Structure formats: C-alpha cells, structure tokens
C-alpha cells in the first residue's frame, strides 16, 4: 500500500515505471482488466473536474475495481468531523481514495495517516502530481522518450507548473524553460526543489518573467490563466498575463514543436484557437492519457508490479 500525495513521494525508478506502464496501457488497456479486481476505490472531489475525475473513475473500472463517488457536500467533514477520523473510517471500507481539494496537502497527509487505504492527490493548491504523470506519458507516446526533451512553459506558476517542474527535471538532459508573468511565478520552494532535481539528473530548470529570446522547444505548454478554485487579487492581472499568450508566433523559433495544455482551455486567453485546434496540438490526446496514467498510479499505489 502506497500513497501519491507529491511527486517527491516517488523514487526516480517509481516515476519512470509509472510513466512506462501508462504508455503500455495506452497501447493495450485490456492487459490490466483484472489487476484491481475485488478492490473498491473512493473518488472524492470537493472541486470541479472533468478529466481527472473521469480518468480515475474510468481507469479504476477498467482495472476491475468498483468505485464510490463523493461530492463536495457528502462527507461529514462538512459538519466538523476531523480529516484524521474521516480517513481512519474510510480506510476500513475502501482500498484507495482519490482526492481533489483546493486546500492544503496536509489534509491528504492526514487522510493517509492509516495503514490500509492508499491516498492519491488528484490536485491540491500547491501541486497536481497526476497531471505531470499524464504529461510525461504524452511525451513518451509522442517522442518515444522524455530524456533530452526541451519544454517551454508559458503562464502562471500554478500547481500544474509545479508538478511539471518536479517531474520533468528528474529525466537526464531535459530542459524546462518557465516564462511566468511578474508576480505569478513558481513558488520559490518548489523552484528550489525542481532545480535540485535538475542538478542531480543533468537537467535544466530556468524561470524568467519576460517573453524575449525564447528558446527552441520540443513542447510548448500552457495552462488556463484562472486555475480551478483560485482568484487573483490584482484587478488588472489580465494585462500582466497578455504577453504570455501562446500564439503561432512562437513556432517561428520552434517550428517542430507540439502544443500541450492540461485543459480546460479558454481560447483567446492563454492560447489562440488557431494553436489549440491546429495540427501541432496534442492537448486532447494528452487528456486521454490522463486515464492511462491514472490506471498506472492506482496499480502502483495498490502494490501491483508496474515495471
């Protein structure tokens, strides 16, 4: 029984094994039809979700598990029961619990303070680990590798950007170039952790707050400017973000790049419709890969061999 609350919960070997397993499942999802047979997976989302919730629900069913879904008002947490007590009770009835909250990841650590039920972070305010696993799976399926890829990320240093920084930097030779609006960069502690990973693995992680001298990239990546469950205190924030929109102009320096987006997208804001719906976009294949990476995560959490 294992938990996935942060990407730093994974060893380098675990990280590579989960991504490789997800890519194999994408090639033939039927090969894992019974790997979680007889298990029960809880799906608790206190915030909206289309892709991640469906990915884990569909993925668990495809693995042979049964699921119980909880909405934001369903658990007694809302009436004052502690997170610890909730986790302890659920662990007597569930084998795994997939949780999305806009709150502190410490809540998930509290739910994981028992010895029977795996807990999976399906997004917290600081990190979106399963998104990064889907991103890496997408890269493997597109390029046949992650090692050595160059990724240009444009936009806010949000939880998806944090996860990408903590995951991509553990693959040798990779380059992650973050171009974030002034005042909306990656959390300094996350940036330091990502740069430490990069130093150990011969990778590179650089953050700047301008759009000059863009590097050549294999992947151009963005996320929506208004992350689920968040607001911005500056009423003029759109003016600050505007220069960081993904347009076709970026392909002048990266003519062979593919475009990735964690979705949902707002055409005309973080990306133009021409890019999102264009021939270089693999954003919707990326969304499909969330299911395969979710399946690989559930297998890993439940102690199945994903190597």
Number of other CB atoms surrounding residue 40 within 10 Å? 16
Domain coordinates in residue numbering, the chain: 7-127+290-301, 129-287
Q: Do domains 7-127+290-301 and 129-287 have the same CATH topology?
A: yes
* Segments in the chain below pLDDT 70: 228-230
> Whole-angstrom Cα distance, residue 11 to residue 296?
15
| Verdict on whether the full-model pTM lies above 0.85 | yes
> Whole-angstrom Cα distance, residue 122 to residue 164?
14
pLDDT computed for residue 230 by the predictor: 67
Among residues 138, 199, 137, the alpha carbon closest in space to that of 169 is found at 199
pLDDT computed for residue 132 by the predictor: 98
pLDDT computed for residue 3 by the predictor: 97
Just give the CATH number of 129-287: 3.40.50.1370
> Whole-angstrom Cα distance, residue 301 to residue 95?
10
- Residue 89 CB partners (closer than 8 Å, separation 6+): none
pLDDT computed for residue 271 by the predictor: 98
> Whole-angstrom Cα distance, residue 196 to residue 199?
5
pLDDT computed for residue 233 by the predictor: 84
Just give the CATH number of 7-127+290-301: 3.40.50.1370
> Whole-angstrom Cα distance, residue 76 to residue 88?
13
pLDDT computed for residue 305 by the predictor: 84
Q: Which residues lie across from 42 on neighbouring strands?
A: 68, 97
């Amino acid at each position: 029984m294992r938990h996935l609350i942060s990407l730093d919960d994974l060893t380098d070997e675990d990280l590579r094994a989960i991504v490789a397993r997800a890519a194999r499942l994408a090639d033939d999802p039927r090969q894992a039809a019974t790997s979680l047979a007889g298990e029960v997976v809880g799906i608790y989302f206190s915030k909206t979700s289309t892709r991640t919730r469906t990915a884990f629900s569909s993925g668990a069913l495809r693995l042979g598990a049964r699921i119980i879904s909880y909405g934001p008002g369903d658990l007694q947490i809302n009436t004052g029961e502690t997170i610890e007590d909730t986790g302890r009770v659920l662990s007597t009835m569930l084998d795994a619990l997939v949780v999305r909250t806009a709150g502190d990841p410490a809540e998930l650590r509290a739910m994981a303070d028992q010895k029977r039920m795996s807990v999976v972070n399906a997004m917290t305010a600081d990190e979106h680990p399963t998104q990064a696993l889907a991103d890496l799976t997408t890269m493997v399926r597109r390029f046949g590798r992650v090692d050595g890829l160059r990724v240009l990320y444009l936009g806010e240093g949000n939880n998806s950007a944090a996860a990408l920084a903590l995951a991509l930097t553990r693959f040798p030779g990779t380059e992650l170039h973050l171009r974030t609006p002034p005042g909306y960069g990656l959390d300094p502690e996350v940036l330091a952790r990502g740069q430490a990973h990069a130093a150990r693995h011969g990778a590179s992680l650089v953050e700047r707050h301008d759009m000059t001298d863009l590097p050549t990239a294999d992947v151009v990546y963005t996320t929506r400017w208004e992350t689920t469950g968040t607001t911005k205190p500056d009423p003029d924030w759109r003016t600050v973000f505007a220069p960081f929109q993904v347009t076709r102009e970026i392909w002048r320096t990266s003519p062979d790049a593919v475009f990735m987006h964690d979705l949902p997208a707002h055409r005309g804001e973080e990306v133009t419709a021409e890019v999102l719906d264009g021939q270089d976009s693999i954003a919707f294949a990326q969304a499909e890969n969330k299911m395969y990476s979710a399946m690989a995560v559930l297998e890993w959490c439940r102690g199945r061999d994903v190597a």
